[in-house]
Structure 1
Amino acid sequence: MRTVMFLQHTDNRPELAQFDRYPTRLGVPAPHVQRADPTVWGTVDSKELASFDADGFVIVEGLLTPAEVAEFSGEIDRLASDPALRDDDRLIVEKSSNRVRSIFEVHQLSAAIAELVREERVLGLARQVLGSEVYIHQSRVNYMPGFRGTGFYWHSDFETWHAEDGMPAPRAVSLSIALTDNYPINGSLMVMPGSHRTFVPCLGSTPAEHYRESLQEQEIGVPTTDDIAVLSARYGISQFTGRAGAALLFDSNLMHGSSNNITPFPRSNIFLVFNSMENTLVEPFAAPSPRPGYIGSREFTPLSA
């Protein structure tokens, strides 16, 4: 495995040299890196998580009840229509349609979501996989309206969190909770089972405040078409479909993406990222400065039920 040395600095004092085991945002193409870190850091004692290590994801059916789906759907509708958030940086709009695409830091904006992230049925999943206490690295609501909803190109979240936030290792998991039915036709998430074991270095350098563009449409920090062809041939592609209330728990390095939604059926989800307390952020590995805290939190407070 290739390594690149970097220096961490605190108050302008150099510390011991550390090694970047996942170099990215490079000037020339580089080979894929086979992951040395575990996928499951703890002890999985739940049958529903049995395939997580091999696949890098699991689908949790019925995480929310129909009544809770209705409650949270009303909550995210309230947030999307809140005039006080219209000039808030945490609200991201579609580049073409000017419609709400995402709202970040929703566990700070919604008391109901703040309570949800601490419930054992949610928090317990992350603790089992990560084998430690955890905190919220990022929370958001994603909206994909009908007819003109824009998808997300293939990417590994860890590549961005490593490059731009300073997350040292892929010891983080995401939980996407569906608030609408996910069909194969309405832009539901596609994943490559097993791709979490392969890190794909990306090309390009990270401009200052890159997040302002990338949250609308990411062009830096994405794999090449050749990368995607190689990975899809090796791992195949699956899709997260199912009823509202189901959830997808997936590894931070899992390759995933979604297509545009040209159907009348909207898609929305609550998206929670849990990072291990033993994997807290350092300086970015491939960006001039860290992204704002509402995108990559630097408040390392462990969650408790």
Structure 2
Amino acid sequence: MSTATMTDDLYLTRLTEAKEPFAREHPTVWGSADDGPFDADALRDHDQRGFTILPEFLTGEEVEIYRAELDRLTSDPSLRGDERVVTERVSGEVRSIFAVQQLSELIDRLSRDPRLLDRARQLLGSDVYLHQTRINYMPGFKGSGFYWHSDFETWHAEDGMPAPRAVSCSIALTPNFPYNGGLMVMPGSHRTFVPSLGETPEDNHKSSLKEQKVGVPSEEVITEMAHRHGIDQFTGPAGSALWFDANIMHGSGNNITPFPRSNIFLVFNSVENTLETSYAASAPRPDHIAHGDAQPLS
């Protein structure tokens, strides 16, 4: 497995003057086919596209168990007003619950399941820890989407993540149709870092988790990247899992259908890529959004 020293800021962002997108300095896949369940072809495809979809990652029985857990959490009156809960800007319905492994033994165990842990270790070439966890709930008719962005741009600027040596796993608990606000990704875009304009406001997370306005690309950049890379969408039955690189350009539209969309979202970071001082923010985001505990998962 690979190791690297990453001390210089190679991903300047939140700038006062526009800078052209540029090629990332770090690999996408750090391990090899000998290190885990992805075979050589799957690793090559993930390296090229920046994402992998695994249908039927969870069984139907498991989906029902985790869906009931999501319902329990989103309807728990004791969590109303909790800083870990993010609500829809207009409707006030629960949008996300962060640090969900602290609230659910089921999801804490899931994060340590070899089906996830072995793949995360293989992709990142090291032991891993949870940088962020949450459950996302996009209700029918009222669920709002997210504009195009790279997670790593925010994690670097605001959380102090040195390099894009992190991978996210989104596990669908409901069917992802092409029309109920499913996640869209630009295959291959993970190889390009897009700096953003503008300083990070104080406590930016309080608004950005509802509607992100800082750290997003311009329409011109999105247009160019969409023509260059195209757009794919994460669709499939409940139980499907999407693994995607920290730097891939992605977004989602509003859900105006009657079909809700919910998922468990786990971000694995390499223990060799632990958080430093925020690169482009006056203070780091709270621990429930960006975990400072880099204890390896086991």
TM-score in terms of structure 2 length? 0.95
Match of 1:254 in 2: 248
2:182 is the alignment partner of 1:188 = yes
Structural mapping, 1:279-290, within 5 Å:
279-290=273-284
Q: Across the two proteins, how many residue pairs are aligned to each other?
A: 288
User: Quick one: distance in 2 between partners of 1:18 and 1:298?
Assistant: 18
- Preserved contact between residue 56 and residue 196 of structure 1 (Cα < 8 Å): yes
Match of 2:112 in 1: 118
Alpha-carbon deviation of 1:18? 4.5
* CA shift digits 1:172-197 (9 cap, x unpaired): 00000000000000010000000000
User: Quick one: distance in 2 between partners of 1:18 and 1:25?
Assistant: 19
Match of 1:32 in 2: 21
SS in 2 for 1:196: helix
Alpha-carbon deviation of 1:50? 4.1
Structure 1 gap segments, 5+ residues each = 1-16
2:197 is the alignment partner of 1:208 = no
Structure 2 gap segments, 5+ residues each = 1-5
2:82 is the alignment partner of 1:88 = yes
User: Quick one: distance in 2 between partners of 1:262 and 1:42?
Assistant: 41
SS in 2 for 1:143: strand
Match of 2:223 in 1: 229
Identity of aligned residues (%): 60
User: Quick one: distance in 1 between partners of 2:263 and 2:180?
Assistant: 13
* CA shift digits 1:98-124 (9 cap, x unpaired): 000000001111000000110110111
- Preserved contact between residue 22 and residue 33 of structure 1 (Cα < 8 Å): no
Match of 2:128 in 1: 134
Alpha-carbon deviation of 1:84? 1.0
Match of 1:302 in 2: 296
Alpha-carbon deviation of 1:19? 2.3
CA-based RMSD: 1.1
Q: Which consecutive segments of 4 or more residues in structure 1 shift more than 2 A? A: 47-50
User: Quick one: distance in 2 between partners of 1:302 and 1:36?
Assistant: 25
Alpha-carbon deviation of 1:49? 4.1
Match of 1:165 in 2: 159
Alpha-carbon deviation of 1:44? 3.2
Amino acid at match of 2:81: D
Match of 1:43 in 2: 32
- Preserved contact between residue 191 and residue 247 of structure 2 (Cα < 8 Å): yes
